[in-house]
Structure 1
Amino acid sequence: MRIVVTSVFVDDQEKALRFYTETLGFVKKADVPLGDARWLTVVSPEDPDGTELLLEPDGHPAVRPFKQALVEDGIPLTSFAVDDVQSEFERLRTLGVAFTQEPVAAGDVTTAVFDDTCGNLIQIANT
Protein backbone atom coordinates (compact mmCIF):
# COMPACT_ATOMS: atom_id res chain seq x y z
CA MET A 1 0.00 0.00 0.00
CA ARG A 2 1.24 3.51 -0.78
CA ILE A 3 -0.09 7.05 -0.73
CA VAL A 4 -0.91 8.31 -4.23
CA VAL A 5 -2.90 11.49 -3.49
CA THR A 6 -3.32 13.57 -0.36
CA SER A 7 -5.26 16.81 0.04
CA VAL A 8 -5.12 20.31 1.40
CA PHE A 9 -8.43 22.13 1.55
CA VAL A 10 -8.18 25.53 -0.12
CA ASP A 11 -10.54 28.48 -0.25
CA ASP A 12 -9.64 29.36 -3.85
CA GLN A 13 -8.17 26.80 -6.23
CA GLU A 14 -6.66 29.33 -8.65
CA LYS A 15 -4.98 31.28 -5.83
CA ALA A 16 -3.76 27.99 -4.35
CA LEU A 17 -2.34 26.88 -7.69
CA ARG A 18 -0.37 30.12 -8.01
CA PHE A 19 0.96 29.86 -4.45
CA TYR A 20 1.85 26.18 -4.58
CA THR A 21 3.55 26.46 -8.00
CA GLU A 22 4.96 29.99 -8.27
CA THR A 23 5.94 30.41 -4.61
CA LEU A 24 6.56 26.92 -3.25
CA GLY A 25 7.86 25.47 -6.53
CA PHE A 26 5.52 22.52 -7.05
CA VAL A 27 4.45 21.60 -10.60
CA LYS A 28 0.85 21.22 -11.80
CA LYS A 29 0.10 17.56 -12.53
CA ALA A 30 -3.66 17.31 -13.14
CA ASP A 31 -6.29 19.91 -13.91
CA VAL A 32 -9.68 18.35 -14.67
CA PRO A 33 -12.91 20.41 -14.58
CA LEU A 34 -15.52 19.03 -12.17
CA GLY A 35 -18.52 21.35 -12.31
CA ASP A 36 -17.70 24.45 -10.27
CA ALA A 37 -14.39 22.97 -9.08
CA ARG A 38 -11.43 21.08 -10.52
CA TRP A 39 -9.44 17.96 -9.77
CA LEU A 40 -6.30 20.04 -9.39
CA THR A 41 -3.08 18.42 -8.23
CA VAL A 42 0.55 19.45 -7.88
CA VAL A 43 3.70 17.38 -7.43
CA SER A 44 7.27 17.93 -6.43
CA PRO A 45 9.49 18.67 -9.43
CA GLU A 46 11.98 16.29 -7.78
CA ASP A 47 9.43 13.44 -7.95
CA PRO A 48 6.94 14.15 -10.78
CA ASP A 49 5.49 10.62 -10.59
CA GLY A 50 5.29 10.69 -6.79
CA THR A 51 2.51 11.60 -4.40
CA GLU A 52 0.10 14.21 -5.75
CA LEU A 53 -1.21 17.02 -3.56
CA LEU A 54 -4.86 17.73 -4.33
CA LEU A 55 -5.79 21.41 -3.97
CA GLU A 56 -9.28 20.52 -2.83
CA PRO A 57 -12.06 23.11 -2.47
CA ASP A 58 -13.08 23.69 1.15
CA GLY A 59 -16.80 23.92 0.38
CA HIS A 60 -18.00 21.15 2.70
CA PRO A 61 -19.63 22.70 5.81
CA ALA A 62 -17.26 20.85 8.17
CA VAL A 63 -14.05 21.97 6.49
CA ARG A 64 -13.85 25.71 7.20
CA PRO A 65 -14.49 25.37 10.97
CA PHE A 66 -11.88 22.56 11.05
CA LYS A 67 -9.32 24.69 9.22
CA GLN A 68 -10.07 27.72 11.39
CA ALA A 69 -9.64 25.69 14.59
CA LEU A 70 -6.27 24.36 13.43
CA VAL A 71 -5.04 27.85 12.52
CA GLU A 72 -6.28 29.35 15.80
CA ASP A 73 -4.38 26.64 17.70
CA GLY A 74 -1.27 27.05 15.50
CA ILE A 75 -1.47 23.48 14.22
CA PRO A 76 -0.14 22.79 10.71
CA LEU A 77 -2.45 20.84 8.41
CA THR A 78 0.44 18.97 6.84
CA SER A 79 4.22 18.92 6.58
CA PHE A 80 6.61 19.12 3.63
CA ALA A 81 10.19 17.85 3.70
CA VAL A 82 13.04 20.16 2.73
CA ASP A 83 16.80 19.64 2.76
CA ASP A 84 17.55 22.81 4.74
CA VAL A 85 14.78 24.50 6.74
CA GLN A 86 16.75 27.70 7.35
CA SER A 87 17.52 28.18 3.64
CA GLU A 88 13.93 27.43 2.61
CA PHE A 89 12.62 29.76 5.32
CA GLU A 90 14.82 32.57 3.99
CA ARG A 91 13.85 31.87 0.35
CA LEU A 92 10.13 31.83 1.13
CA ARG A 93 10.27 34.86 3.39
CA THR A 94 11.98 36.78 0.57
CA LEU A 95 8.98 35.84 -1.62
CA GLY A 96 6.59 37.31 0.95
CA VAL A 97 5.47 34.11 2.68
CA ALA A 98 4.18 34.78 6.21
CA PHE A 99 5.61 32.47 8.84
CA THR A 100 3.83 31.78 12.12
CA GLN A 101 6.87 29.90 13.44
CA GLU A 102 10.43 30.66 12.45
CA PRO A 103 12.88 27.73 12.31
CA VAL A 104 13.10 25.84 15.59
CA ALA A 105 15.43 22.93 16.28
CA ALA A 106 14.18 19.98 18.30
CA GLY A 107 16.92 17.40 18.43
CA ASP A 108 17.76 16.29 14.90
CA VAL A 109 14.68 17.95 13.40
CA THR A 110 14.21 21.61 12.51
CA THR A 111 10.75 22.91 11.64
CA ALA A 112 9.10 26.16 10.56
CA VAL A 113 5.42 26.92 9.89
CA PHE A 114 3.90 29.23 7.29
CA ASP A 115 0.49 30.42 6.11
CA ASP A 116 -0.35 29.06 2.64
CA THR A 117 -2.69 32.02 1.90
CA CYS A 118 -5.55 29.52 1.41
CA GLY A 119 -6.57 28.99 5.03
CA ASN A 120 -3.91 26.50 6.16
CA LEU A 121 -0.74 26.41 8.17
CA ILE A 122 1.96 24.26 6.57
CA GLN A 123 5.07 22.94 8.33
CA ILE A 124 8.41 22.43 6.66
CA ALA A 125 10.89 20.05 8.25
CA ASN A 126 14.36 18.89 7.37
CA THR A 127 14.74 15.44 5.86
Structure 2
Amino acid sequence: MTINEIEGIMIMVSDQQRALDFYTQKLGFTKKVDTDVAKFRWIVVGPKDSDTVISLVDPASMKEWSKDSVDNAEKKIGTQTGIWFFTKNIDEAYNELKSKGVEITKPEKQVWGGIMSTVYDQDENSFGLVGDSGKNEN
Protein backbone atom coordinates (compact mmCIF):
# COMPACT_ATOMS: atom_id res chain seq x y z
CA MET A 1 0.00 0.00 0.00
CA THR A 2 1.19 3.48 -0.83
CA ILE A 3 -0.31 6.80 0.19
CA ASN A 4 0.03 9.06 -2.80
CA GLU A 5 -1.17 12.47 -1.61
CA ILE A 6 -3.13 14.41 0.98
CA GLU A 7 -6.52 15.02 -0.53
CA GLY A 8 -8.33 17.07 2.06
CA ILE A 9 -8.46 18.50 5.54
CA MET A 10 -11.46 19.27 7.77
CA ILE A 11 -11.80 22.63 9.49
CA MET A 12 -14.44 23.03 12.20
CA VAL A 13 -16.53 26.18 11.74
CA SER A 14 -19.38 27.74 13.70
CA ASP A 15 -21.40 28.74 10.63
CA GLN A 16 -20.86 26.98 7.32
CA GLN A 17 -22.34 29.74 5.17
CA ARG A 18 -20.19 32.45 6.79
CA ALA A 19 -17.18 30.19 6.37
CA LEU A 20 -18.01 29.53 2.70
CA ASP A 21 -18.33 33.28 2.12
CA PHE A 22 -14.97 33.94 3.85
CA TYR A 23 -13.01 31.28 1.99
CA THR A 24 -14.45 32.10 -1.44
CA GLN A 25 -14.78 35.90 -1.20
CA LYS A 26 -11.82 36.79 1.01
CA LEU A 27 -9.27 34.05 0.24
CA GLY A 28 -10.39 33.56 -3.35
CA PHE A 29 -10.88 29.81 -3.02
CA THR A 30 -13.19 27.93 -5.37
CA LYS A 31 -16.25 26.12 -4.08
CA LYS A 32 -15.71 22.54 -5.21
CA VAL A 33 -18.60 20.78 -3.43
CA ASP A 34 -21.71 22.05 -1.66
CA THR A 35 -24.24 19.29 -1.13
CA ASP A 36 -26.38 17.53 1.44
CA VAL A 37 -25.01 14.15 2.47
CA ALA A 38 -26.67 11.88 5.03
CA LYS A 39 -28.55 14.72 6.75
CA PHE A 40 -25.74 17.27 6.82
CA ARG A 41 -24.24 19.89 4.51
CA TRP A 42 -20.87 19.00 3.01
CA ILE A 43 -18.83 21.96 1.75
CA VAL A 44 -15.42 21.64 0.12
CA VAL A 45 -13.25 24.58 -0.99
CA GLY A 46 -9.72 25.04 -2.24
CA PRO A 47 -7.41 27.13 -4.36
CA LYS A 48 -8.50 27.01 -8.00
CA ASP A 49 -5.58 24.93 -9.28
CA SER A 50 -5.01 22.80 -6.17
CA ASP A 51 -5.99 19.18 -5.74
CA THR A 52 -5.83 19.50 -1.94
CA VAL A 53 -9.06 20.82 -0.43
CA ILE A 54 -10.57 21.97 2.85
CA SER A 55 -13.93 20.71 4.11
CA LEU A 56 -15.84 23.29 6.17
CA VAL A 57 -17.53 21.18 8.84
CA ASP A 58 -20.26 22.00 11.34
CA PRO A 59 -19.30 19.99 14.46
CA ALA A 60 -22.96 19.17 15.19
CA SER A 61 -23.08 17.14 11.97
CA MET A 62 -20.21 14.93 13.10
CA LYS A 63 -22.37 12.78 15.39
CA GLU A 64 -23.89 11.27 12.25
CA TRP A 65 -20.62 9.90 10.86
CA SER A 66 -17.70 10.21 13.27
CA LYS A 67 -16.53 8.70 16.52
CA ASP A 68 -15.33 12.18 17.52
CA SER A 69 -17.78 13.76 19.93
CA VAL A 70 -19.52 16.99 19.02
CA ASP A 71 -18.03 18.64 22.13
CA ASN A 72 -14.52 17.63 21.11
CA ALA A 73 -15.08 18.86 17.55
CA GLU A 74 -16.47 22.20 18.78
CA LYS A 75 -13.26 22.71 20.78
CA LYS A 76 -11.39 22.73 17.47
CA ILE A 77 -13.12 25.94 16.34
CA GLY A 78 -10.79 28.92 16.71
CA THR A 79 -7.55 26.97 16.97
CA GLN A 80 -4.23 26.73 15.17
CA THR A 81 -4.94 24.37 12.27
CA GLY A 82 -1.38 23.37 11.46
CA ILE A 83 -2.13 24.10 7.79
CA TRP A 84 0.17 26.23 5.65
CA PHE A 85 -0.85 27.97 2.46
CA PHE A 86 1.75 28.99 -0.13
CA THR A 87 1.91 32.12 -2.27
CA LYS A 88 4.48 33.16 -4.84
CA ASN A 89 4.46 36.74 -3.54
CA ILE A 90 3.69 37.07 0.15
CA ASP A 91 3.86 40.86 0.17
CA GLU A 92 1.21 41.09 -2.55
CA ALA A 93 -0.93 38.45 -0.84
CA TYR A 94 -0.64 40.28 2.50
CA ASN A 95 -1.75 43.59 0.97
CA GLU A 96 -4.63 41.99 -0.93
CA LEU A 97 -5.95 40.05 2.06
CA LYS A 98 -5.55 43.04 4.38
CA SER A 99 -7.56 45.19 1.92
CA LYS A 100 -10.36 42.59 2.03
CA GLY A 101 -10.54 42.86 5.82
CA VAL A 102 -8.80 39.55 6.52
CA GLU A 103 -6.99 39.38 9.85
CA ILE A 104 -3.37 38.65 8.91
CA THR A 105 0.01 39.28 10.51
CA LYS A 106 2.79 41.10 8.65
CA PRO A 107 5.11 38.79 6.73
CA GLU A 108 8.25 38.07 8.74
CA LYS A 109 11.40 36.12 8.05
CA GLN A 110 11.39 32.93 10.12
CA VAL A 111 14.31 31.23 11.87
CA TRP A 112 14.09 28.40 9.32
CA GLY A 113 14.65 30.95 6.51
CA GLY A 114 11.20 31.30 4.99
CA ILE A 115 8.84 34.27 5.10
CA MET A 116 5.50 33.71 6.79
CA SER A 117 2.31 35.43 7.92
CA THR A 118 -0.56 34.05 9.97
CA VAL A 119 -4.06 34.24 8.48
CA TYR A 120 -7.19 34.00 10.63
CA ASP A 121 -10.60 32.99 9.31
CA GLN A 122 -14.03 34.16 10.51
CA ASP A 123 -13.81 31.80 13.53
CA GLU A 124 -10.18 32.65 14.43
CA ASN A 125 -8.89 29.37 12.99
CA SER A 126 -5.29 30.18 12.05
CA PHE A 127 -3.26 29.17 9.02
CA GLY A 128 0.34 29.87 8.04
CA LEU A 129 0.88 31.74 4.79
CA VAL A 130 4.35 30.98 3.44
CA GLY A 131 5.83 32.56 0.39
CA ASP A 132 8.48 34.40 -1.47
CA SER A 133 8.90 38.10 -0.82
CA GLY A 134 8.75 38.98 -4.50
CA LYS A 135 12.06 40.81 -3.99
CA ASN A 136 15.37 39.56 -5.30
CA GLU A 137 17.73 39.05 -2.38
CA ASN A 138 21.45 38.62 -3.11
TM-score by length of structure 1 reads 0.81
Note the residue ranges of structure 1 that are not aligned, 5 or more in a row.
none
Query: Hey, what's the Cα distance between the residues in 2 that align with 1:76 and 1:56?
Result: 13
Task: Give CA deviations for 1:59-89 in whole Å, capped at 9, x if unaligned.
Answer: 3201233445x4xxxx454211111112111
Query: Hey, what's the Cα distance between the residues in 1 that align with 2:108 and 2:40?
Result: 37
Query: Hey, what's the Cα distance between the residues in 2 that align with 1:37 and 1:18?
Result: 18
Q: What percentage of residue pairs aligned between the two structures are identical?
A: 23
Task: Tell me the residue number matched to 1:102.
Answer: 106
Query: Hey, what's the Cα distance between the residues in 1 that align with 2:82 and 2:124?
Result: 10
Task: Tell me the residue number matched to 1:91.
Answer: 96
Q: How many Å apart are 1:34 and its aligned residue?
A: 3.2
Q: Contact between 1:77 and 1:122, CA under 8 Å: does it hold in 2?
A: yes
Rg larger for = 2
Alignment: residue pair count: 119
Equivalent residue runs for 1:1-127 within 5 Å: 1=3, 2-34=5-37, 37-47=40-50, 50-59=51-60, 60-68=70-78, 70=79, 75-99=80-104, 101-106=105-110, 107-126=112-131
Q: Which has the higher contact order (CA 8 A, sep 6+)?
A: 1
Deviates more, 1:11-20 or 1:51-60: 51-60
Structure holding more strand per residue: 1
SS of 1:20's equivalent in the other structure is: helix
Query: Hey, what's the Cα distance between the residues in 2 that align with 1:46 and 1:76?
Result: 22
SS of 1:61's equivalent in the other structure is: helix
Decide whether aligned partners of structure 1 residues 87 and 17 sit closer, same or farther in structure 2, where only a CA change above 3 A counts. same
Q: How many Å apart are 1:7 and its aligned residue?
A: 1.4
Decide whether aligned partners of structure 1 residues 98 and 12 sit closer, same or farther in structure 2, where only a CA change above 3 A counts. same
SS of 1:79's equivalent in the other structure is: strand
TM-score by length of structure 2 reads 0.75
Q: How many Å apart are 1:20 and its aligned residue?
A: 0.4
Letter in 2 for 1:63: A
Q: How many Å apart are 1:114 and its aligned residue?
A: 2.1
SS of 2:10's equivalent in the other structure is: strand
Decide whether aligned partners of structure 1 residues 104 and 80 sit closer, same or farther in structure 2, where only a CA change above 3 A counts. same
